[in-house]
A and B are shown apart, each in its own frame.
Chain A
Amino acid sequence: MRFKEIVQPTTLDQVVSEMNNSKYTIIGGGLFLKLQKGYVNKGIDLSKLNLDYIRDEEDRIRIGAMTTLRELEKSSLFPDCIGQSVLQVGGVGLRNLATIGGSVSGKYSFSDIGTALIALDARLRFHLYGEIPMIEYLNSNTVKNDILVEVSFSKVGFSSFKAFKHNYTDFALVNICVTSGDKIRIAVGARPGKAVLIKDINTKHNAQELLRDVEFSNDFRGTGAYRRSVAETMLSDILKEGLFWK
């Protein structure tokens, strides 16, 4: 995407007034925007808003929207699944630029961090709209023309993320994340549709039974049947590794 002008506001109010003035696109890390075609009058760069932070509160972790995937990878504050989900997203250079805000706002169905955040029951804070559960944001168009400011989630006991990739830094053929906090949550993404959350988990069920109602389909990376089979194997491995599953 090309821009006639890029502005670098230093407050959220300035961002809003820039949004009111002409056709615009918000720039996070800018990596996916680079791959998009088109010409927009104004790019609004969020890099001067001090939105790159990680806050550890008593029972919740808050992440500023401009925090990069590399910062998530390097922090020891997170449940395991966060580091595991960003580890194979491109190389170090890419992760030094890609932001959590851009990864969530894009609603990318292939997203690795997106699947982990769904399993963590993450909540999003937008500047104008306020808070919304991420799963609701993904499945609706409730929030429009807004600025994602923060992503947060409650701390959990066990968590594990796995993705199956054709090569080390490729997009996932399918990915899966399990967390156990007040409840057990399983999210499956890159099906290739967007991530879904499996509700009403019966802990006596095996991986095959747990994934029975999840829809997997075909694309150039693999067939739905292949994806299902890989997802069952990954889930089965996670269940074995999670001692909580009793």
Chain B
Amino acid sequence: MEVKLKINGREYNHSIKPDEYLLDTLRDLGIKSVKRGCDTTSCGSCSVIVDGKLVPSCSFYTIRAQEKDVTTVEGIYEEADKIAEYITAEGVEQCGFCSPGLVMAVYSMKEELENPTLEDIKHYLAGNICRCSGYEGQHRAILKYLEVHHEC
């Protein structure tokens, strides 16, 4: 079936399977920051933002994305770059597979919560699994990023 999608501000006319998930559509369209980790809504590596809400794209039907704004790391490049700077500085990233999903979750959290505490951050990011970092470094990096960029 044919769908019209708006991804990172750009419109696409695309042909999909009726029960296709957004993760597959995005990767099909060349938007490769979006990663398939678990494919069961458990790891967060496929996280994107649809109409302001963080969602796991592996479990979000593409037909539900019609008439909505889809945002991936490619659409928030400058902010993603800033977040990545802190992640790198804290030596958090190893394989980097979880990073795009984590960046989307941090971006979403910053939009949704005002001055989140460490506890708020841990809770908000609980659905973003990293098999390498151990999370302590992530939390340090995010706290520092928010301290500097909270006003944006």
Contacts and interface: CB of A to CB of B under 8 A. Distances in A.
Interface of A: 2-6, 8, 27, 30-31, 34-35, 43, 45, 47, 70, 87-88, 90-94, 96-97, 168-169
Given A34-B40, A47-B64, A91 B59 contact: no
A55 to B, nearest CB: 21
A94 B61 CA distance: 14
B61 A91 contact: no
A85 to B, nearest CB: 15
A8 B109 CA distance: 30
Nearest to B64: A47
16 contacts: A4-B19, A30-B61, A34-B40, A70-B53, A87-B123, A90-B41, A91-B125, A91-B127, A92-B54, A92-B126, A93-B41, A93-B54, A94-B41, A94-B127, A97-B59, A168-B126
Nearest to A8: B63
A92 B54 CA distance: 7
A8 B67 CA distance: 14
Interface in B89-135: 105, 108-109, 123-128
Given A92-B105, A168-B126, A30 B59 contact: yes
Contact of B105 (A6, A47, A93): A93
Interface of B: 18-19, 40-42, 44, 47, 53-56, 59-61, 63-64, 105, 108-109, 123-128
Helix, strand, loop or mixed for chain A's interface?
mixed
Helix, strand, loop or mixed for chain B's interface?
mixed
Contacts of A45: 61, 63-64
B23 to A, nearest CB: 11
Contacts of A47: 64
B18 A34 contact: no
A169 B64 contact: no
A190 B127 CA distance: 21
In order of increasing CB-CB distance, the 4 nearest A-B pairs are A91-B127, A3-B19, A93-B56, A93-B54
Contact of B63 (A6, A70, A91, A169): A6
Nearest to B66: A8
A22 to B, nearest CB: 14
